[in-house]
């Protein structure tokens, strides 16, 4: 991939400014990336920089996910593979959000399912990560019907072990998992 001057200049500006950015700044950058077709593969190494820069870049990826999820899909395998090297607090939330919005690339489906199941069961994982993982797993069960049984058992077990927000979302998914009753 050849880096264009636009991408190179944007990346320099992003690294310079993102560490102290606001949500509005990141929204503008997300729109710029989408509008100008800036390849995220050219920016993903920002995740390995200092915490202020990398954390806000992860937030930017979340914004992009919500605006144009397919853009993030190409870097998901790298984020999953390199997650131990990325020193962002709760980085698994960014990955789970990417799974929910952009889907799970086939090449890492097994690993992704294992990760998300572990996140749902881990009491130390924040609820927003669990919610994204819950919805991503629910999408995957369409492709893997046997996942339905495991997901149902996990959610029933976790209902009273998490926050009200998680309980509400888990109950919604459990209702979808129940066979049609007349």
pLDDT (tens digit, 9 = 90+) per residue, 48-83?
999 999 999 999 999 999 999 999 999 999 999 999
Q: What are phi and psi of 168, to 5 degrees?
A: -60, -50
Residue range 74-120, pLDDT digits in tens: 999 999 999 999 999 999 999 999 999 999 999 999 999 999 999 99
Q: What is the pLDDT of residue 182?
A: 41
Output the CA torsion 101→30→127→93 (10° steps).
80
Distance CA 49, CA 114 (A): 27
179 has a pLDDT exceeding 70? no
Tokens of 41: 């593969």
Range name among 20-24, 77-81, 96-100, 168-172 with the lowest pLDDT average: 168-172
Question: pTM of the prediction?
Answer: 0.90
Distance CA 168, CA 171 (A): 5
């Amino acid at each position: 991939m050849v880096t264009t001057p636009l991408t190179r200049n944007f990346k320099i500006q992003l690294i310079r400014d993102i560490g102290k950015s606001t949500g509005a700044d990141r929204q503008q950058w997300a729109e710029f990336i989408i509008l100008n077709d800036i390849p995220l593969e050219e920016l993903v190494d920002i995740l390995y920089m200092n915490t202020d820069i990398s954390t806000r870049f992860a937030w930017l990826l979340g914004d992009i996910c919500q605006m144009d999820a397919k853009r993030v899909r190409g870097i998901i395998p790298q984020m999953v593979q390199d997650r131990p090297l990325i020193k962002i607090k709760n980085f698994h939330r960014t990955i789970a959000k990417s799974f929910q919005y952009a889907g799970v690339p086939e090449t890492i489906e097994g690993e992704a399912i294992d990760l998300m199941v572990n996140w749902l069961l881990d009491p130390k994982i924040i609820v927003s990560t669990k919610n994204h993982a819950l919805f991503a797993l629910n999408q995957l069960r369409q492709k893997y019907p046997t996942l339905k049984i495991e997901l149902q058992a996990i959610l029933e077990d976790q209902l009273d072990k998490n926050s009200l927000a998680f309980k509400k979302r888990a109950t919604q998914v459990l209702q979808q998992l129940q066979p049609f009753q007349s």
